[in-house]
Amino acid sequence: MTNVLRASDVVPSPIALLARGDAPHSDRAVRRGLLVPVMRGVYAERDAWRSLKPWDRYLARVHAAAMKYPDAVFCHESAAALRGLTVFLEPRDVHLALPMGATSRVVSGVRIHAVQRMPRVDEIGGLVVATCAETVVDIARTRHNAVGLAVACSAMRADPTLTAEEFAALSASRPSTRGRRHARWVFDRATATPESPLECVSLAAIEWLGFPTPELQKWIVDPIGPDADRLDFWWEAWRIAGEADGELKYSGELGDARAALRDRSRRDARLIDRGVSATAHWGWSDAIATKPLRAALLAAGLPAERPEDTFQLRSMQRALTPRTATMQ
């Protein structure tokens, strides 16, 4: 059954898109470098397109596909992008679902999935989009576990009624068993508690590096006052904190980088006064490369309890290493 949501629930295209009929002499404009083809017959202003982050380019491509295929059912990363869920980098294809009997194929950057059972959908702003739960299950079954975990967690943050049990039950109800066991890893760990894709990826990497499972979003209270600090990761037995800091925070793009580093140093000192033995800090590149994350945790005094899962770590690097740009 299709639920009709508010138009505002769909994430709009980050740039204006022009159909061929709305862009007079479009071929000439492309040759002159004024327009770029986003999809066959759909264009965008060149400088606006070039200014987009990879995930925003992908969102624009999804909207371009919606202009060409207005009755399409969007699924996988395309549904995630339209719903504002986590999308890493710029996925290769826009994903559409068609009933079994259609031919699975890729045409001009659009991947058609011929499915045994059509996904449950919502109508969002005139577009037909797979539900959050269907989207999570699709990605958990077909993508790297770190990606699947980040998408599942973002869906649970967006819709607090969603549960990991619902994801698992939906996956079990699919006619195909392909990817079911793979997705179970995601469903066993999915939670709304992580506040960013970096925290989700870090949580996966910490497990695969062999470290103990941390407590998430731990409050450390001032023993003599009302103030408290919230930590991304906390290991109670060792009184060790972990902070997954987006690298933009200290790049200068969001303000004075030196001031941000001074604030971090003051907070670390305050945490020591509150009984924290050490705080490990890492960013996107540290979590993806994994060796810097491992070094940061070992330097803070956290012991590794299990051998590393080298397959998961190396495949995560391949899945999340930017091809042409950095991640969110």
Render pLDDT for 232-244 as a digit per residue (tens, 0 to 9). 999 999 999 999 9
pLDDT band (50, 70, 90) for residue 253: low
53-75: average pLDDT: 95
Distance (Å, whole) CA 33 – CA 287: 38
pLDDT band (50, 70, 90) for residue 249: low
pLDDT band (50, 70, 90) for residue 261: confident
Q: Give pLDDT, residue 224.
A: 66
User: Which residues, at least 6 apart from 202, have a Cβ–Cβ distance to it below 8 Å?
Assistant: 232, 233, 242, 244, 282, 287, 293
Render pLDDT for 147-158 as a digit per residue (tens, 0 to 9). 999 999 999 999
Between residues 147 and 264, the one the model is more confident about: 147
Between residues 9 and 251, the one the model is more confident about: 9
Q: Which domains does the chain have, with CATH numbers?
A: 3-9+53-187 (no CATH), 197-320 (3.40.960)
Task: Flag the least confident range among 79-83, 186-190, 220-224, 238-242.
Answer: 220-224
Grouping H, G, I as helix, E, B as strand and the rest as coil, residue 227 is coil
Residue percentage of the chain with pLDDT more than 90? 75
Between residues 147 and 261, the one the model is more confident about: 147
Q: Give pLDDT, residue 326.
A: 35
pLDDT band (50, 70, 90) for residue 246: low
Distance (Å, whole) CA 183 – CA 136: 9
Q: Is 100 exposed, middle or buried (0-12, 13-18, 19+ CB in 10 A)?
A: exposed
Between residues 228 and 25, the one the model is more confident about: 228
Query: To 10 degrees, the CA torsion angle through 154, 157, 162, 165?
Result: 60
